[in-house]
A and B are shown apart, each in its own frame.
Chain A
Amino acid sequence: MRFAFTDDQLAFAEAVRDLLANECSPSAVREAWSYGRSDGRVPGLWERLAEMGVVGMLAPEGTDGMGMSDVDLVRIVYEAGRAALPDPLAAVAAVAVPTIRDHVESSDAELWLGRIARGEVTIGLGLRPNAAVVGAEVAAAFLLEADDGLHLVDADVVKLSHRESVDGSRRLAVVRWNPSPATLLSGGEDAVRQAHDRAAVATAAELCGLADTMLEMTVGYVAERRQFGVPIGSFQALKHHLADALLAVEFAKPLVWRAAYSLTHADPDASLHASMAKAAASDAARVVGAQALQCHGAIAYTVEYDLHLWLKRTWALVAQDGDGPYHRRRIAEALAL
Chain B
Amino acid sequence: MDLTWTPAEQAFRAEAREWLEANVPRPALPSGDTEEGFALHLEWEHQLHDARWAVVSWPSEYGGRGASLWEWLIFEEEYYRVGAPQRVTQNGIFLLAPTIFEFGTQRQQDHYLPRMSAAQDLWCQGWSEPNAGSDLAGLTSKAVRDDAAGGWRLTGQKTWTTRGAFCTHLFGLFRTDPDSTRHHGLTYLMVPLDAEGVTVRGFGRLDGDEGFAEVFFEDAFVPDGDVDLEAGGVLGEVGQGWGVAMATTSSERGLTLRSPGRFQAAASRLLQLQRQRGGDLDDPTLRDAVVQAWMDAEAYSLYTLADVTGMVEGRSPGFRSSLNKIFWSELDVRLHEAAIRLQRGEAEWVTDGDGIENPWLKGYQFSLSGPIYAGTNEIQRNIVAERVLGLPRK
Contacts of B385 in A (CB 8 A): 233, 238-240, 242-243
Within 8 A of A (CB), among B2-24: 2-6, 9
Interface size on A, residues (CB 8 A): 43
State A195–B290 Cα separation when bound (angstroms). 27
Whether the pair A1, B381 counts as a contact (CB closer than 8 A) is: no
User: B393 near A: Cβ within 8 Å?
Assistant: yes
Within 8 A of A (CB), among B286-331: 287-288, 290-292, 294-296, 298-300, 302-303, 305-306, 308-310, 313, 323, 326-327
User: B390 near A: Cβ within 8 Å?
Assistant: yes
Decide: A234 near B278, CB < 8 A? Known: A1-B5, A240-B385. Answer: no
Task: Give the A-B contact count at a CB cut-off of 8 A.
Answer: 134
Interface string of B325-362 (1 = CB under 8 A from A): 01100000000000000000000000000000000000
User: A303 near B: Cβ within 8 Å?
Assistant: no
Contacts of A246 in B (CB 8 A): 323, 384, 388-389
User: A15 near B: Cβ within 8 Å?
Assistant: no
Whether the pair B295, A331 counts as a contact (CB closer than 8 A) is: yes
Whether the pair A2, B2 counts as a contact (CB closer than 8 A) is: yes
Stretch among A90-98, A173-181, A254-262 lining the B interface:
A254-262
Contacts of B271 in A (CB 8 A): 335, 337
User: A31 near B: Cβ within 8 Å?
Assistant: no
Whether the pair B327, A3 counts as a contact (CB closer than 8 A) is: no
State A244–B4 Cα separation when bound (angstroms). 31
Whether the pair A223, B394 counts as a contact (CB closer than 8 A) is: no
Within 8 A of B (CB), among A216-259: 219, 222-223, 230-231, 233-234, 236, 238-240, 242-244, 246-247, 250-252, 254-255, 257-258
Contacts of A255 in B (CB 8 A): 295, 298-299, 302
Whether the pair A337, B291 counts as a contact (CB closer than 8 A) is: yes
For A5, give the chain B residue with the smallest CB separation: B1
Chain B nearest CB, measured from A249 CB (Å): 11
Whether the pair B295, A257 counts as a contact (CB closer than 8 A) is: no
State A261–B327 Cα separation when bound (angstroms). 24
User: A280 near B: Cβ within 8 Å?
Assistant: yes
State A223–B380 Cα separation when bound (angstroms). 19
For A6, give the chain B residue with the smallest CB separation: B1
Whether the pair A335, B391 counts as a contact (CB closer than 8 A) is: no
Decide: A337 near B287, CB < 8 A? Known: A1-B5, A250-B323, A280-B299. Answer: yes
Secondary structure dominating the interface of B: helix
State A201–B5 Cα separation when bound (angstroms). 24
Whether the pair A254, B290 counts as a contact (CB closer than 8 A) is: no
Whether the pair A239, B386 counts as a contact (CB closer than 8 A) is: yes
State A294–B327 Cα separation when bound (angstroms). 23
Within 8 A of A (CB), among B140-173: none
Whether the pair B302, A1 counts as a contact (CB closer than 8 A) is: no
Chain B nearest CB, measured from A180 CB (Å): 39
Q: Which of B1, B278, B291 contacts A3 (CB 8 A)?
A: B1
Whether the pair A276, B295 counts as a contact (CB closer than 8 A) is: yes
Contacts of A243 in B (CB 8 A): 326, 380-382, 384-385, 389
Chain A nearest CB, measured from B278 CB (Å): 6
User: A71 near B: Cβ within 8 Å?
Assistant: yes
Q: Which of A71, A233, A236, A254 contacts B302 (CB 8 A)?
A: A254
Chain A nearest CB, measured from B57 CB (Å): 16
State A1–B275 Cα separation when bound (angstroms). 32
Whether the pair B302, A242 counts as a contact (CB closer than 8 A) is: no
Chain A nearest CB, measured from B287 CB (Å): 5
Within 8 A of B (CB), among A279-337: 279-280, 325, 328-329, 331-332, 335-337
What are 7 A-B residue pairs whose CB atoms fall within 8 Å in the complex?
A233-B392, A240-B385, A242-B385, A243-B381, A243-B384, A254-B306, A280-B299
- 3 tightest A-B contacts by CB? A239-B385, A254-B302, A243-B381
